[in-house]
Each structure stands twice: as structure tokens, then as C-alpha cells.
Amino acid sequence: MIAPSVVTVVLIVFAVVAFRWPRYAVAGLVVGAPAYLLRSTLVGYPTTALEAGVLGTVAGWLAGIVARQSFGNVVAQLRLIFDRPLIVALAVTVTGWLVATAASINLPASLGALKAWLVEPLLISLIVVHEFRTSADQRLLRTALLAALLWVSVVGLVQLATFRSTVEGGRLSSVFAPVANYLAMFIVPLLVLAVGWWLQRQAWWLSGISAVLGAAALLLSFSFGGYLALVAGLLVLAIRLLDPIRRRRPLMLITVVGGLLLLILSPTHYLREKLNFVTRSSSLVRTQIWRTAVEVGREHPLLGIGPNTFEQAYRATVPRLYFPPLEWLVAKPHNLYLNLWLETGVLGLIGTLWLLGLCLRRMWGQPAGSVYAAAIISILAHGLVDTPLFKNDLALLAAVIIALGLLSATSPTQN
């Protein structure tokens, strides 16, 4: 917890900066995305330092628009990026969230999640679309994304080297301690971006250093979901950015490195645990969670249970299936698609996948957009075993990546 005065200062500072320099405010949010861990209150309501920064940025940006009387420019830029199919898919997604929230089994929790996981990231994405139109502007945001990957990875490596005895299970978790999987969900899409930009020779030194340190941090997190997601993203980069002859070596390298990694990890309890479905293991725990999530979904098939309510529904349902269960308290179902269905209903699931599909199709046609498409695909691959969108920092980063990808696909100028 931090003092309410601190988040008030954060809000004011970001509002002042965003009024005159909204691009720097957004870049600051990206670099400081893990600030959601710093919790406090604002005028009596629970909040975080990240949320204060987001609210300040949105307020300052809107005030600047009013002062400059530039509503017409905002509308014109948004219409350039958001065509009718995207608007319809977004409308379906938002409707799913709203309906699921209205039908929630815990309305206060769902309203908070609606604000932090949908409304605030969506507002930031609109600012990105409007403010980061030139290649120089987009370079600033790319640098911010790489800086976030770099500092979080460095903190994790220092943590593991200096405080190894305090690290849970020996797994690197950085500022997200003790949950190493949170680190993996944060850095994988950024790591994919870093590799893609390095291949395109954009911010070559920073991309390369960030990629190396990010890969080391991910490796030492022992997150097999993160490994899977990274491989998916790297495969897309190899297919989209390298010609058929040049891509053979990277594809072989990915295969060989993956095989060596499995060979190295095979004697360890990390891999044995993934293959253990008999005694207590993370795989058996996930199996129980997924089975319980499906049962919850059968009881709420259309509207869902509301955002950020899975733990409550799980706690009420799991004793009917497993007693005693391996885990009594589980915040998420460890699967993005189950989470979308349960917490945003059928409309939220369909709308989100439709929206992401349209964005990927738009980005796929341009080399610049393909890097962002690879990052999104890594998120979707990670979603098979975790929930890499339902967290404040992850939702914000995903919104920024998607908005930048749409801009790059629309104006594919490279620098």
C-alpha cells in the first residue's frame, strides 16, 4: 500500500504532462505498467498507481483536445483506423462485458474489472491511435515497450542472483514476486516485439539487449506456458519477416533450441511436474481447475458470471467435483478462452476473438504490422494455459500493442 497522496500526485503529474505532451504520458504508462502493484485509495475508492496514471492521462488528453478545439482531427483519425467491421466487433465485445457485468454474481468486483481491464485500456488505445501517427511518434512508444521489457528483466535477474534463497521455487519472478507466471505473461509479447524489431533493425542495439536479457529472464522463470507462447511468436516472425531460403535456419534453430531445452530440463522437477497427472502437480491442479471452470460455464452458459468473479464461483463449485480439491482458492481458470466465456459471456468471447482476428488480418499484410501480429499470437498461444489479458498491466500492454499494430499496418513507413 502507498499513501493516497502519492496516487494523487501521480494523477496530477500525468494529467499535466498529457495536456501538453500526451505521447510522453502514454510512454510513461507503458514503462511503469507494473505500478498496478502499488495499491492505495483515491477519494475513498480503491485504486493503484497505474490507474491514477491512466486517469490522469485520459483527463489531460481530453482537456488538451477541448483547449485546442481539435475534435474533428480526433474523429478523422479514429475513422481512418476503425472501419465498420472493427467497430461492430468492438461493439459486440463491449456489449458482452456490459451484459456479463450486469448479470454478475459480484457486481462491485465486476465493475472494478470492467474499468481496469476494458474501459481504461480502450481509452489508452484511442489516445495511441490519435497521437502516434508518425514514424517518430511510434518509435517513442517502441522504445517505451523495450524499456519495460529491459528493466523488468534486469530486476528479475538481479533478484535471482542476489536473493535466490527468497525466490519461490527458484523461479525468477522480478517485481511480480512470488508469481513467476505473471512475469512470463508480461515479458513474452514484449520479447517477441524485441526480436521482430531486431530483425528489422529498428532500435537495433536496444532491441538486441532487451531480447537477450528478456530471454534469460523468461528461461529462468521456468514458465512452460511462456516458452510455448514465445515459440509461437518466433515462428510467426520467421514466416513473415524472412524469405523462404533464409527462414530455414531460424526454424531449425528454434527446433534445436527447443529440443535442447527439453533435454536440459528433463531431469528437473519442473518438467516432471508438467507430465505428472497422478500426484499433486501444476498439471493436475490445472486439470481440476479446467474441469471446474467448465462446470461453472455449464451453469452460466450465455451471460457468464461477470468479470473478476471466477474465484468466488470456483470456491462454490469445486467441492462438488473434488473433495478435498488440490486448490481451494484460484483467481483465474488458467485458460484465456474459458476466462472470456465465463467472465464476459458468449458475446464477450465471440466479440474478442472476432476483434483480434480482424486486427491480425489487418496487420498480417505489412512487415511492420507482422511484428505486432506475432506478439498478439504469442498472447493467444499463452492463453491456452493462462489468462494473459485479465490483469491491469497485461490489458494495458495488449491495447497499446494492438493500437500500434493497426497504425503500423495503416502507415507502414519504416525507420
Element (H, E) at 212: helix 204-221
End-to-end Cα, the chain, rounded Å: 42
Residue 102 confidence (pLDDT): 97
Domain boundary among 24, 46, 69: 69
Judge residue 268's burial from the number of C-beta atoms within 10 Å of its C-beta, 0-12 exposed, 13-18 middle, 19 or more buried.
Answer: exposed
Distance of CA 39 to the CA centre of its chain: 19
Q: Output the pLDDT for position 414.
A: 45
Is the pLDDT at 268 greater than 70, yes or no? no
Dump pLDDT digits (tens) for 371-415.
999 999 999 999 999 999 999 999 999 999 999 999 988 864 444
Are residues 231 and 254 in contact, defined by beta-carbon separation less than 8 angstroms? yes
For residue 281, pLDDT beyond 90: no
- Does residue 2 come out as left (phi exceeding 0), alpha (psi in the -120 to 50 range) or beta? beta
99 assigned to some structural domain: yes
Nearest CA among 16, 11, 27 for reference residue 131 = 27
Percentage with pLDDT > 90 across the chain: 71
Indicate whether 243 pLDDT > 90.
no
The domain boundary residue, chosen from 69, 92, 125: 69
- Is 315 found in the same domain as 204? yes
Q: Within this chain, do residues 38 and 176 fall inside the same structural domain, yes or no?
A: no
* 55 has a pLDDT exceeding 80: yes
Residue 269's pLDDT is what?
A: 56
The answer on 248 and 121 residing in a single domain is yes
Alpha-carbon span 385 to 136, nearest angstrom: 37
pLDDT tens figures, 135-178: 999 999 999 999 999 999 999 999 988 877 667 778 899 999 98
Average of pLDDT values for 339-368?
Answer: 95
According to DSSP, the β-strands at 45-48 and 39-42 are: antiparallel
| pTM, to two decimals | 0.92
**CA triplet 55, 377, 243: central angle to 5 degrees?**
125
Q: How many domains does the chain have?
A: 2
Nearest Cα residue to 175 out of 50, 333, 4, 10: 50
- In this structure, the answer to whether residues 26 and 141 fall within a common structural domain is no
Quote the pLDDT of residue 72.
79
Domain of residue 328: give its range: 82-415
**Most confident option among 166-175, 233-242, 264-273, 303-312:** 303-312
- Which pLDDT value is given to residue 278? 54
- CA contacts within 13 A on the Cβ side of 378: 34
Q: What is the mean pLDDT of the chain?
A: 90
Mean pLDDT calculated for residue range 171-186: 94
Tell me, yes or no, whether 74 lies in a domain: no
Q: What is the pLDDT of residue 241?
A: 86
pLDDT above 70: residue 276: no
In a domain, 76, yes or no: no
Q: Taking 60 as the threshold, does the pLDDT of residue 275 lie above it?
A: no
Tens digit of each residue's pLDDT (9 = 90 or more) over 106-127: 999 999 999 999 999 999 999 9
**What integer pLDDT is reported at residue 248 of this predicted model?**
64
Residue 53 is predicted with a pLDDT of: 97
Q: Could you say which of 37, 69, 101 is where a domain stops?
A: 69
* 306 close to 104: Cβ distance less than 8 angstroms: yes
Helix pair angle (392-410, 71-81), 10° resolution: 80
Per-residue DSSP letter, 116:
I
Sequence letter at residue 398: A
CA nearest 156: which of 142, 144, 168? Answer: 168
